[in-house]
Amino acid sequence: MYGELDEASKAWQTFDGNMHQLGKSPAEIATAKKSMQQFAQQTIYGASDMASTYSQLAAVGTKNVDQLVRGFGGLAAASSNPQQAMKTLSEQATQMAAKPMVQWQDFKLMLEQTPAGISAVAKTMGVSTQQLIKNVQDGKVKTEDFLNAIAKTGTNANFTKMATQFKTVGQAIDGLKETMANKLQGAFDRVGKVGIKFVSDLTDQLSNVNFDGFVDGLFKTVADMEPIFDDLKTGFDDFKKGFGCNIW
HEC per residue, 179-248: HHHHHHHHHHHHHHHHHHHHHHHHHHHHCCCCHHHHHHHHHHHHHHHHHHHHHHHHHHHHHHHHHCCCCC
Residues 6+ apart with CB under 8 A from 192: 9
Query: Binning pLDDT at 50, 70 and 90, where does residue 117 land?
Result: very high
Q: Is the pTM of this model over 0.85?
A: no
Q: Which pLDDT score, from 0 to 100, does residue 172 have?
A: 63
Q: How far apart are CA 62 and CA 178, in angstroms?
A: 26
Phi and psi at residue 22, to the nearest 5°: -80, 0
Q: Which residue has the higher pLDDT, 46 or 20?
A: 20
Q: Which pLDDT score, from 0 to 100, does residue 127 have?
A: 96
